Amino acid sequence: MKKTAIVTGGSRGIGYGIVKQLGSKGYRIAVLDVNSLQDYQEHFDALTRDGVEWYYQQGSIACKEDRESFVSAVVEKYGDIDVLVNNAGVAPKVRNDILEMTEESFDRVVGINTKGTMFMTQLVARQMLTQEVKGRRRGVIVNISSSSVTVSSVSRGEYCISKAGVAMITKLFADRLAASDIQVYEIRPGVIETDMTRVVHQKYSDLIEKGAFPIARWGQPEDIAGAVSAFVSDKFIYSTGNYIDLDGGFHIQRL
């Protein structure tokens, strides 16, 4: 029996890398994304050619109506939801010193990254709780946060705060859902080569060249997708609430 995986923000970048990986493992894919499908049609045409079943809905995780209509459509189309990957997120439109951060920027970033993730997780978790256990699990949730959970970046404080909130969302839902055979995990990417990091590509390329990262290269969406694939398998069945740093070793404290 095929399983269904939701990937938010799955049209490009890390999200699309996860979509491709889970699709290759036989999952039916459901994507909620603010981007128009027409803009990324070639990505999904490739999935079709590879025999992957997929459903796409344009909408925002920050919008209650979008979340609810999407989850209802996925359940109607595919039945159970077996995996939720909370990948959708944004960076500040303008990087400002924390002393200059605006409330509008804070509300936008936290509203999408933290609030949107929180209530998408709540909605899907409620659905998962109505489902039968398949194999050894009723469902799996993976949150894509950031190395910014613990690393200070005063020019984008709202982003750091929003991702720290995602880390706590992971712990809370892991605690609440464990007894119901639903596991929750978190992945903390470092510098991943995507559209989001394009504006600071030279900055991070210079840091990589200077040795700031023990693994001296940019991360790729496929690096994140591989970890998601492992978490949703039964390889981590006796764990929940765990996170993994996928940052080229940047989290290591060095003298």
Q: What is the pLDDT of residues 35-54, one digit of tens each?
A: 999 999 999 999 999 999 99
Spatial contact of 53 and 29, defined as CB atoms under 8 Å apart: yes
User: Tell me, what's the pLDDT at 123?
Assistant: 98
Q: How confident is the model at residue 255 (pLDDT cuts 50, 70, 90)?
A: confident
- pTM (2 decimals)? 0.95
Rounded Cα–Cα distance for residues 95 and 37 (Å): 28
Asked if 78 is an active-site residue, the reply is no
- In the set 159, 185, 204, 243, the catalytic residue is 159
Q: Looking at this protein, which amino acid is placed at residue 74? A: V
232 CB neighbour count, 10 Å cutoff? 27
What CATH number does the domain located at 4-246 have? 3.40.50.720
User: Tell me, what's the pLDDT at 157?
Assistant: 98
Spatial contact of 149 and 167, defined as CB atoms under 8 Å apart: yes
CA distances from 134 to 64, 71, 82, 140, 248 (A): 29, 20, 9, 11, 35
User: Tell me, what's the pLDDT at 184?
Assistant: 98
User: In terms of DSSP H, where are the helices of 39-193?
Assistant: 41-49, 64-78, 103-110, 117-129, 157-177
Residue 173 has pLDDT above 90, yes or no: yes
Q: For residues 176-197, b (16+ Cβ closer than 10 Å) or e, as one string? A: ebeeebbbbbbbbbbbbbbeeb
100 CB neighbour count, 10 Å cutoff? 11
